A and B are shown apart, each in its own frame.
Chain A
Amino acid sequence: MNEQSMTVRGKDRYKSGVMEYKKMGYWEPDYVPKDTDIIALFRVTPQDGVDPVEACAAVAGESSTATWTVVWTDRLTAAEKYRAKCYRVDPVPNSPGSYFAYIAYDLDLFEPGSIANLTASIIGNVFGFKPLKALRLEDMRLPVAYVKTFQGPATGIVVERERLDKFGRPLLGATVKPKLGLSGRNYGRVVYEALKGGLDFCKDDENINSQPFMHWRDRFLYCMEAVNRAQAATGEIKGTYLNVTAATMEDMYERAELAKQLGSVIIMIDLVIGYTAIQSMAKWARRNDMILHLHRAGHSTYTRQRLHGVSFRVIAKWMRLAGVDHIHAGTVVGKLEGDPATTRGYYDICRQDFNKTTLEHGVFFDQQWASLNQMMPVASGGIHAGQMHQLLDHLGEDVVLQFGGGTIGHPKGIQAGATANRVALEAMILARNEGRDYVHEGPEILAKAAQTCTPLREALEIWKDITFNYESTDSPDFVPTATPAM
């Protein structure tokens, strides 16, 4: 695919009229990306009959300087620098009609520290471009020079653990259920029971804001009564993600201020508030010593289908730049979409300082994070105590495991549900650290712990057969190939 440059040069390049994108300088197969370039990898599916290289060059053009016809005013600029350059086009394995396009963008195309500006280029007009059937942004390489223009996570995993005084195990959480309809007083009851029973966090759901059944101030006041009571009852720091998502920034700041005043360690926002609002809240959180939880509400509308949209790994990268501390990143074993290899890639993006290219996890680039804080991934949705060994194996230690139904649905009540989860977790960590093969011995380790913990015994009994085994809609295109031994 990667034939020669077709770029027309000199005065012919600027003759009025329409010229193919690949001739305008948006296809440069000899171009070697600079260390300071932003690189985007798109999955391009051209309309029937459209030349793949032309389609990929068009993506480069439409996401940078081009318009549909030649304009002489290009000649008033250092146009060659500003043109994004598609430098490589590969057919997607096992996916006829789709191509991976690698496109390099000069750093000068972007405003420092602005996700809004980055996305306006990279996922702006280009996604509606008619010659394409579908377009997906798969991954991005963000140069250190660009990463360093962002604040990054307000708190980061290490400082979050220090503030909470919790080390060596995943954190435990639960989303209050039912997600809609509880009054503030009843809502706080759920929070108290779950925290006292052994969870570290409770969580507002994404659509809990300020509704007729519970206005936000009421929720905050009752929740903080619950948090403080649970703290005094256990001697542990506790938190509840108070969702400050609202219609305007002014409303969000007002809600965040009350959360701070009441002594909450954490607040929460939804992805749907938009990139700029997220960055504003991240700055607020840094200024106010607040952990910032992000619920990825809405992401599946554009992340889930393989052919069109934006991969969640890209959203995770943008959110790490934007500065949230927690991000929902999949459970593997739970009820929501998430193939194990792809999810592993997301978790690496959240937590590593350097991501190595790992095609079988969907990670297409080496990415240097330059000491930007780490984000704590959150696993939420259809998980329970009986899966503890698998969760620890797939997701590791620096993660929040959220058992909503798996806490509140316990037959002996919320405290019992919370205790079951905490005991299961501590038993698994103890066994892992002792060097046991906890992945295979998991069920026995849990059964043994349940001998001295009735709530765990009941939890294991009621949810023993619950699994969510459906085929994933977004799995990696590359399978690992055995490397011959040297």
Chain B
Amino acid sequence: MRVTQGCFSFLPDLTDEQITAQVQYCLDKGWAVNIEFTDDPHPRNTYWEMWGLPMFDLRDAAGILKELNDCRRTYGDRYIRLSGFDATHGWESLRISFIVNRPKDEPGFRLLRQEVDGRSVRYTTVSYAVDRPEGSRYE
């Protein structure tokens, strides 16, 4: 399967050149770019690990791409996403978020159904990846 979170998951994987253009868009808007990675892409796993702090002061797309490539060297077998954070009053949240790296094989999710009162069902989504211990999920 293919996890389709983020802004561009339905397009072919972005090239470094395309990623740089999106980063430049964020910088032009005055947003802070953030790199995060995870080995559990559960749709409600909000807090991916941060590759350092959001880059509030790095205003150079090439520099950000270098950070991304450093992150890829260490965590190339995991999901990595880039996001742009807008601290403007009234928003103070992400303005864009997109996946820039995926494990070679994406195992996806198991849907558990607990049949309860009447015909109601309690649903639980579980990443197959978490069947294995953290850190060795895509080996």
A and B from one assembly? Answer: yes
- Proximity string of chain A (134-161) to chain B, C-beta cutoff 8 Å, 1 when within and 0 when not: 0000000000000000000000001001
Cβ of B132 < 8 Å from any Cβ of A?
no
B120 neighbours in A (Cβ, 8 Å): 221, 258, 261-262
Say how far A349's CB is from chain B's closest CB, in angstroms: 15
B111 neighbours in A (Cβ, 8 Å): 228-229, 231-232
- Proximity string of chain B (88-120) to chain A, C-beta cutoff 8 Å, 1 when within and 0 when not: 001111111110000000001111000000011
Q: Which of B7-15, B54-62, B65-73 contacts A (4 or more CB under 8 A)?
A: B7-15
Cβ-closest chain B residue relative to A263: B123
Cβ of B136 < 8 Å from any Cβ of A?
no
Cβ-closest chain B residue relative to A353: B90
Given contacts A235-B108, A236-B4, contact A168 B98 (CB under 8 A): yes
Q: How far is the CA of A452 from the CA of B91 in the complex (A)?
A: 35
Taking a contact as CB atoms closer than 8 A, the residue among B1, B25, B90, B121 that contacts A434 in the complex is B25
Cβ of A198 < 8 Å from any Cβ of B?
yes
Taking a contact as CB atoms closer than 8 A, the residue among B3, B11, B90, B98 that contacts A235 in the complex is B3
Q: Which of A268-276, A289-297, A419-427 contacts B (4 or more CB under 8 A)?
A: A419-427
Interface residues of B in 43-82 (CB under 8 A from A): 43-44, 46
Say how far B8's CB is from chain A's closest CB, in angstroms: 5
Number of B interface residues, CB 8 Å? 41
Cβ of B87 < 8 Å from any Cβ of A?
no
Given contacts A167-B95, A232-B108, A426-B8, contact A434 B125 (CB under 8 A): no
B122 neighbours in A (Cβ, 8 Å): 263
- Proximity string of chain A (398-423) to chain B, C-beta cutoff 8 Å, 1 when within and 0 when not: 00000000000000000000010011
Q: How far is the CA of A426 from the CA of B13 in the complex (A)?
A: 12
A263 neighbours in B (Cβ, 8 Å): 122-123
Do A235 and B43 have beta carbons less than 8 Å apart?
Answer: yes
Say how far A275's CB is from chain B's closest CB, in angstroms: 26
Taking a contact as CB atoms closer than 8 A, the residue among A198, A225, A452 that contacts B4 in the complex is A198
Cβ-closest chain A residue relative to B17: A434
Given contacts A161-B93, A235-B41, contact A419 B10 (CB under 8 A): yes
Seen from chain A, the residues whose Cβ lies within 8 Å of a Cβ on chain B are 158, 161-162, 165, 167-169, 198, 217, 221, 224-225, 228-229, 231-237, 258, 261-263, 353, 371, 374, 419, 422-423, 426-427, 429-430, 433-435, 449, 452-453
Pick the 6 closest A-B CB pairs, nearest first: A168-B96, A235-B3, A232-B111, A433-B25, A228-B123, A232-B109
